[in-house]
């Protein structure tokens, strides 16, 4: 079962943060966490059964989903039961979802999640009171619905922003119902209990803000001048969004965030740290070209420009886009483009090598296939033969000359001897 | 230089620029051109070296064979100063000159083969040096020996430039350098063999044995005498001089003695280790093994008799034969009998590229060129008339 595999993956990742642990411990002490701290014991709970039935999934699947949410949040054992109970019993929070400069990819990935029940769950866990893509109604009707929801849930609703906000020329580059994106955002943000910026565009400006940034695209936090929860990614994993919402639902507060407003459970580690290809990086085995021997063997993609070493995200553990185990970009053989990281995604060329945040690999690592050497070429054999021939020829000539002079000398000696002998006989 | 009185050496004289030096100069220039490419673009740009054969002819020929060929000075000095055979003294200076350049170029030649050559000084720098390494021993010994030889040879320059006082001072301490000059080659010539011991099973059993350091030392001494025979004959032929037959004849006998010990040890070792079977395998290694052994046995055939030793042509051929044996022994051990894949990982191959060969040729051209220039202009070879008077 893919979900079970993912739970196992997530458990291995251990994204636990201290704050979360303390939160659960506090809840336990206060007795807020129900007596059922064991998820399995909830299987017989009628509320769980009813919820599962309502969602059109089996009871077991529902509980597994809750466990996955709890683990991806890095919560300790027992929290899964709390999550299940919260989803089964608590009033669904009202959500107002705004779309600005974006491609609707974040919504798409949420609705086209691999698990057929996830989108149902999302829509069940939250009360989606305003969403331009999903609403059947249009025009004044839908704007009225937004106003009503905001008034009814004043100070309690969650505002989700998808897409960047154009700020140039008074924000005229994005208007909905006659209002600029800036006006809409400020209006909706005023009475929101929490603001979640989903996707890289609303987190810091994302793709529309690259290059010359013609419309002055900015993130939610910079427009509102207050910190918001950001869930960057292009698109982000739906689990990261779901987990944040469920955390809010279960504990009434947002999960621990880093200095950029990103939930720590999802963005505290580099892609590089839990990457399935990390062993290849450490061993110095790199793909050098798309389709080369190393690429086919699944070697590290660092030299093809993988931005995993400078990108904070939990893609290696929860997989990118919830498209199923092993199907995230690196798993498919494409380098991470760093979509969650401002200054990396859409900013650096895909082929450019990442700036290592920890140790840089040596440039003197072996190639994928070592050349085993070439034999003699016609030219090299000829040169060697020429040298050998010249040496042999010269040697033979020297030897011949030496031999000749030796012979001549010996003849002369013999002649001298003969002469001497003659002389002696004459005398 | 010694107590033995002999004909004082004197410059041969004559023109420096002729066909021979012109051709040698071109070969040297070609070498420098290739080396510029090599030092800028790396070893891969000019050589056929690979991971399986990280040592090519620049190491095996320029350094290992080059330094063995440069053992003439050492072999003759040993005969003169250790065994007190003073009559060989006139051979010392020419032999030393050949050794001087052989070794200096071998030392420089190592640099060509260093991938990161700019770190060459690391091997001798105390914080980088690894005293447990055979390479360190070789590097230290060769660099020390090069310095020692230049000191040993410096009286030649002092005589030429009239530095009488300095020469007198030097001659008082020269015995120390001569002793060092005999010790150091013994150390590193054997260590060059130790490299094969270290390579272990990668080297064919025909050349890999625990006694390979001794075999390398003995063969280096023999090659030293062989090179003196060769060089004396060639010098005589080229400069149209008398050959020092009265010296070469007995020296050839000494050479045969050392060679006999070497061949006996080589054969005994192969039999004791049971490695002789490899020599009868139908392989390239076996062919080159017999070629090598043939070259080492040839001198016995050529100059085994007293009569044959009187013939300079035979002495010359015997010298060539021993040199050939030394070349083959080293190429066999380091390249032909070397298999990086241990017989498991097939396909490793090495044959020197033209550029590689041209550099090696250029190195030998420098040696010959320097020999010509120095013998023509500096007092190295014995005076001709004095020779005749002997």
CB A38 within 8 A of CB A93: no
**B37-71 per-position pLDDT tens digit:** 999 998 989 999 988 898 999 999 998 998 888 88
User: pLDDT tens, A245-282?
Assistant: 888 888 888 889 999 999 999 999 999 999 999 999 98
Determine the average pLDDT of the residues in A106-113: 79
Q: Nearest CA to CA, how far is A391 from chain B (Å)?
A: 10
| Percent over 90 (pLDDT), chain A | 36
Give the three-class secondary structure for A97: strand
- Chain A hits for B320, CB-CB cut-off 8 Å, are 395
Nearest to A398 among B316, B347, B349 (CB): B316
- Which 150-169 residues of chain A touch chain B by CB within 8 A? none
pLDDT at A35 over 80: no
A207-210, long-range: CB < 8 A, 24+ apart = A207/A234, A207/A346, A208/A101, A208/A102, A208/A163, A208/A164, A208/A166, A209/A164, A210/A346, A210/A347
Query: Closest to B317 (Cβ–Cβ): which among A399, A405, A406?
Result: A399
- pLDDT at position A8 over 80: no
Average pLDDT (A334-346) is 92
Q: Which of A125-129, A345-349, B221-225 has the lowest mean pLDDT?
A: A125-129
Residue A1 pLDDT: 36
- Cis peptide bond prior to A235, omega within 30° of 0: yes
Kindly report which listed range (A18-27, A195-204, B154-163) carries the lowest average pLDDT score: A18-27
Which domains does chain A carry?
Answer: 91-266 (3.40.50.700), 269-370 (4.10.480.10)
Contact indicator for A246, A125 with CB cutoff of 8 Å? yes
Question: What mean pLDDT is predicted for residues A318-337?
Answer: 84
Q: How many CB atoms lie within 10 A of CB B79?
A: 26
| Cβ–Cβ gap A398/B237 under 8 Å | yes
Q: Which residue, among B27, B48, B328, would best test binding to A if mutated, counting the most A CBs under 10 Å from its CB?
A: B48
CA-based nearest distance A106→chain B, Å: 50
For residue A230, give the nearest of A339, A109, A359 by alpha carbon: A339
Q: Tell me whether B352 touches chain A (CB under 8 Å).
A: yes
Q: Give the pLDDT band of residue A357 (cuts 50, 70, 90).
A: confident
The set of residues, in sequence order, having a beta carbon less than 8 Å from that of A193 and lying 6+ positions away, is A93, A155, A156, A157, A158
User: Could you give the angle at the alpha carbon of B100 between the alpha carbons of B95 and B105, nearest 5°?
Assistant: 130
Asked if B317 and A395 come within 8 Å (Cβ–Cβ), the reply is: yes
CA angle B42, B46, B51 (to 5 degrees): 70
Closest CA to B295 of B269, B271, B330: B330
The band of B385, judged by pLDDT with boundaries at 50, 70 and 90, is low
Evaluate if residue A37 carries a pLDDT over 70.
no
Q: What is the DSSP letter of B200?
A: G
What are B337's strand-pairing partners? none
C-alpha span between B200 and A306 (Å, rounded) = 42
Q: How much of chain A exceeds pLDDT 70, in percent?
A: 86
The gap from C-alpha A111 to its chain's centroid, in whole angstroms, comes to 21
Question: Tokens at residue A61, please?
Answer: 């699947």
Range 34-53 of B in CB contact (< 8 A) with A = 48-53
Order of all β-strands in the sheet with A127-131: A127-131, A94-99, A158-162, A194-198, A229-231
Which chain B residues touch A401 with a CB distance below 8 Å?
237
Token digits of residue A242 = 């779901």
Size of interface A-B (CB pairs under 8 A): 73
Residues 353-382 of A with CB under 8 A from B: 366, 370-377, 379-381
**Chain B positions in Cβ-Cβ contact with residue A374 (cut-off 8 Å):** 48, 349, 351
Is A398 in the B-facing interface, judged by CB distances under 8 Å? Answer: yes
Instruction: Record the tokens describing residue B330, joined without a space.
Output: 């080293």
CA distance A305 to chain B (A): 26
Chain B, nearest residue to A406 by Cα: B311
pLDDT confidence tier of residue A13, bands split at 50, 70 and 90: very low
Is residue B112 within 8 A of residue B359, CB to CB? The reply is yes
- The listed range with the strongest mean pLDDT (A143-152, A320-329, B23-32) is B23-32
Q: Which of B48, B234, B237 sits opposite A373 (nearest CB)?
A: B48
B350 within 8 A of B53, measured Cβ to Cβ:
yes
Q: Average pLDDT over chain B, rounded to whole?
A: 87
Nearest to A380 among B53, B236, B351 (CB): B351
Res. B306: pLDDT tops 80: yes
CA distance A369 to chain B (A): 11
Show residues of chain A in contact with B243, CB under 8 Å. 402
Nearest neighbour of B349 by CB, restricted to A372, A379, A400? A372
d(CA B116, CA B109): 14
Q: Give the pair of three-digit tokens for residue A274.
A: 């839990």
pLDDT category, A366, cuts 50, 70, 90?
Answer: confident
Contact A370 B349 (CB under 8 A): no
Nearest chain A residue to B348 by CA: give it.
Answer: A372
Structure tokens of A113?
Answer: 């999640």
**Across B105-127, average pLDDT:** 88
Burial of B328 (0-12, 13-18, 19+ CB in 10 A): buried
Q: What is the pLDDT of residues A215-253, one digit of tens each?
A: 999 999 999 988 899 999 998 988 888 888 888 888 888
Which of chain A's residues have a Cβ under 8 Å away from the Cβ of B338?
none
The whole-angstrom distance between A406's CA and the closest CA on chain B is: 6
How far, CA to CA in Å, does B328 sit from each of A345, A364, B322, B331? 61, 34, 10, 5
The answer to whether the CB of B51 falls within 8 A of the CB of A373 is no
Chain A: closest CA distance from residue B335 (Å): 13
Other Cβ atoms less than 10 A from the Cβ of B373: the count is: 13
SS3 A325: coil
Q: Nearest-CA distance from A366 to chain B in Å? A: 9
Q: At what angle do helices A378-426 and B212-239 cross, to 10 degrees?
A: 60
User: In the structure encoding, which two tokens stand for residue B182, read together?
Assistant: 């005999």
As a whole number of angstroms, the distance between CA A23 and CA A29 comes to 10
Distance (Å, whole) CA A323 – CA A332: 12
Distances (CA, A) of B382 to B7, B12, B150, B237, B309: 6, 9, 20, 15, 22
The whole-model pTM stands at 0.64
Q: Which residues pair with A176 in a beta bridge?
A: A179
Burial, A99: exposed, middle or buried (Cβ in 10 Å; 0-12, 13-18, 19+)? Answer: buried
- Mutation site, A363, A369, A372, A408, interface B, largest B CB count within 10 A: A372
Q: Which helix (H) or strand (E) holds A222?
A: helix A220-224
B243 touches chain A (CB under 8 A): yes
Q: Give dist(CA B256, CA B299) in Å, integer.
A: 7
Q: Say how far apart CA A263 and CA B78 lie, in whole Å.
A: 81
Distance from CA of A227 to the nearest CA of B (A): 53
pLDDT value at position B388? 42
Compute the nearest-CA separation of A419 from chain B (Å). Answer: 22
Contact yes or no for A380 and B357 at CB 8 A: yes
Between A425 and B350, residue with greater pLDDT: B350
Distance from CA of B177 to the nearest CA of A (A): 35
Retrieve residue B202's tokens.
């990668």
Q: Do A366 and B51 touch (CB under 8 A)?
A: yes
CA distance A411 to chain B (A): 13
Which chain A residue has its CA at the smallest distance from B50's CA?
A373
pLDDT band at residue A30, thresholds of 50, 70 and 90? very low
Q: Beta partners for A229? A: A196
d(CA A54, CA B315): 108
| pLDDT surpassing 50 at residue B390 | no
| Average pLDDT of the segment spanning A293-297 | 93
Q: What is the CA radius of gyration of chain B?
A: 21
Give the integer Cα–Cα distance in Å for A307 and A354: 5
Distance of alpha carbon A297 from alpha carbon A392, whole angstroms:
52
More confident residue, B241 or A324: B241
Cβ of residue B313 closer than 8 Å to a chain A Cβ = yes
The dihedral sign for the CA sequence A138, A139, A143, A148 = negative
Counting beta carbons within 10 angstroms of the beta carbon of residue B55, is it exposed (0 to 12), middle (13 to 18) or buried (19 or more)?
middle
Q: Judge whether B353 is closer than 8 Å to chain A, CB to CB.
A: yes
Nearest-by-CA chain A residue for B236: A402
Nearest residue in chain A measured CA to CA from B364: A387
* Interface residue B385 vs chain A (CB under 8 A): no
A205 contact partners, CB below 8 Å, separation of at least 6 = A164, A213, A217, A218, A219, A342
Set out the domains of chain B in order of their start, with CATH numbers.
19-385 (1.20.1630.10)
Q: For residue B311, list chain A residues with Cβ-Cβ distance below 8 A.
A: 402-403, 406
Interface residue A116 vs chain B (CB under 8 A):
no
Mutation choice for A interface testing from B30, B60, B234, B237 by most A CBs within 10 A = B237
Using CA coordinates, name the residue in chain A closest to B341. Answer: A372
pLDDT at B120 (0 to 100): 87
Q: What is the mean pLDDT of residues A292-309?
A: 93
Q: Contacts of residue A379 in chain B, CB cutoff 8 Å?
A: 354
Average pLDDT of the segment spanning B289-307: 92
Least Cα separation, residue B322 to chain A (angstroms): 13
Chain B residue numbers touching A380 (CB-CB < 8 A): 48, 351-354, 357
CA dist., res. A98 & res. A381, Å (int): 76
CA gap A171, A184 in Å, rounded = 11
Residues forming a β-bridge with A161: A98, A197
């Amino acid at each position: 079962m893919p979900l079970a595999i993912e739970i196992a993956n997530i458990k291995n990742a251990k994204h636990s943060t201290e704050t979360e642990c303390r939160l659960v411990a506090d809840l336990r002490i206060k007795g807020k966490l129900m007596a059922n701290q064991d998820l399995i014991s909830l299987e017989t709970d009628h509320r769980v059964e009813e919820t599962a039935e309502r969602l059109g999934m089996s009871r077991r699947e529902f509980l597994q989903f809750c466990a996955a949410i709890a683990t991806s949040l890095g919560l300790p054992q027992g929290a899964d039961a709390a999550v299940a109970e919260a989803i089964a019993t608590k009033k669904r929070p009202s959500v107002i979802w705004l779309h600005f400069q974006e491609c609707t990819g974040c919504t798409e990935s949420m609705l086209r999640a691999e698990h057929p029940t996830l989108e149902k769950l999302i829509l069940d866990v939250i009360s989606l009171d305003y969403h331009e893509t999903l609403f059947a109604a249009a025009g004044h009707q839908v704007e009225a619905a937004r106003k009503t929801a905001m008034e009814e849930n004043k100070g309690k609703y969650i505002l989700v922003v998808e897409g960047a906000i154009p700020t140039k020329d008074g924000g005229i580059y994005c208007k909905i119902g006659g209002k600029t994106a800036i006006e809409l955002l400020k209006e909706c943000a005023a009475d929101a209990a929490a603001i979640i910026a989903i996707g890289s565009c609303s987190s810091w400006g994302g793709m529309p803000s690259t290059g010359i940034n013609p419309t002055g695209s900015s993130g939610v936090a910079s427009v509102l001048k207050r910190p918001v929860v950001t869930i960057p990614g292009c698109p982000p994993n739906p689990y990261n969004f779901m987990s944040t919402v469920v955390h809010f639902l279960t504990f009434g507060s947002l999960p621990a965030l880093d200095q950029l407003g990103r939930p720590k459970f999802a963005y505290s580690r580099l892609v590089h740290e839990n990457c399935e290809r990390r062993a290849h990086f450490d061993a110095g085995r790199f793909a050098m070209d798309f389709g080369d021997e190393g690429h086919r063997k699944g070697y590290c993609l660092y030299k093809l420009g993988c931005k995993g070493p400078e990108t904070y995200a939990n893609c290696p553990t929860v997989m990118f886009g919830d498209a199923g185990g092993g199907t995230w970009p690196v798993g498919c053989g494409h380098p991470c483009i760093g979509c969650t990281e401002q200054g990396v995604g859409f900013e650096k060329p895909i082929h450019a090598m990442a700036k290592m945040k920890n140790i840089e690999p040596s440039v003197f690592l072996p190639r994928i296939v070592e050349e085993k050497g070439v034999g003699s070429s016609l030219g090299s054999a000829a040169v060697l033969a020429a040298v050998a021939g010249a040496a042999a020829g010269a040697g033979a000539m020297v030897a011949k000359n030496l031999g000749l002079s030796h012979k001549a000398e010996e003849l002369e000696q013999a002649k001298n001897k003969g002469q001497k002998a003659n002389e002696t006989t004459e005398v | 230089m010694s107590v033995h009185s002999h004909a004082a050496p004197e410059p041969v004289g004559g023109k420096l620029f002729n066909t021979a030096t012109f051709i040698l100069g071109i070969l040297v220039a070609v070498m420098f051109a290739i080396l510029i490419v090599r030092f800028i673009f790396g070893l891969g740009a000019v050589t056929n070296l690979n991971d399986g054969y990280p040592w090519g002819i620049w190491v095996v020929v320029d350094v290992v064979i080059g330094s063995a060929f440069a053992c003439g000075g050492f072999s003759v000095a040993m005969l003169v100063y250790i065994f007190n055979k003073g009559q060989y003294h006139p051979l010392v200076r020419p032999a030393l000159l050949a050794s001087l350049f052989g070794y200096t170029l071998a030392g420089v030649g190592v640099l060509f083969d260093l991938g990161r050559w700019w770190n060459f000084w690391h091997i001798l720098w105390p914080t980088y040096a690894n005293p447990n390494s055979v390479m360190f021993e070789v590097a230290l010994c060769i660099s020390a020996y090069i310095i020692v030889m230049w000191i040993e040879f410096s009286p030649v320059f002092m005589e030429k430039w009239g530095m009488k006082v300095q020469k007198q001072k030097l001659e008082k301490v020269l015995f120390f350098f001569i002793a060092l000059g005999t010790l150091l080659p013994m150390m590193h010539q054997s260590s060059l063999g130790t490299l094969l011991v270290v390579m272990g099973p990668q080297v064919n059993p025909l050349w890999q044995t625990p006694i390979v350091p001794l075999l390398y030392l003995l063969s280096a001494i023999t090659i030293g005498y062989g090179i003196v025979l060769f060089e004396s004959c060639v010098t005589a032929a080229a400069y149209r001089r008398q050959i020092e037959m009265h010296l070469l004849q007995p020296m050839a006998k000494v050479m045969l003695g050392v060679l006999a010990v070497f061949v006996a040890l080589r054969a005994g070792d192969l039999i004791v280790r049971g490695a002789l079977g490899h020599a009868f395998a139908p392989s390239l290694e076996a062919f080159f093994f017999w070629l090598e052994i043939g070259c080492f046995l040839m001198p016995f055939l050529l100059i085994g008799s007293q009569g044959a030793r009187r013939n300079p042509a035979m002495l010359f051929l015997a010298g060539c034969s021993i040199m050939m044996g030394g070349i083959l022994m080293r190429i066999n051990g380091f390249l032909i009998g070397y298999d990086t894949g241990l017989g498991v990982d097939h396909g490793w191959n090495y044959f020197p590229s033209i550029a590689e060969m041209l550099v090696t040729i250029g190195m030998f051209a420098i040696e010959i060129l320097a020999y010509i220039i120095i013998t023509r202009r500096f007092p190295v070879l014995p005076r001709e008339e004095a020779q005749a008077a002997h």
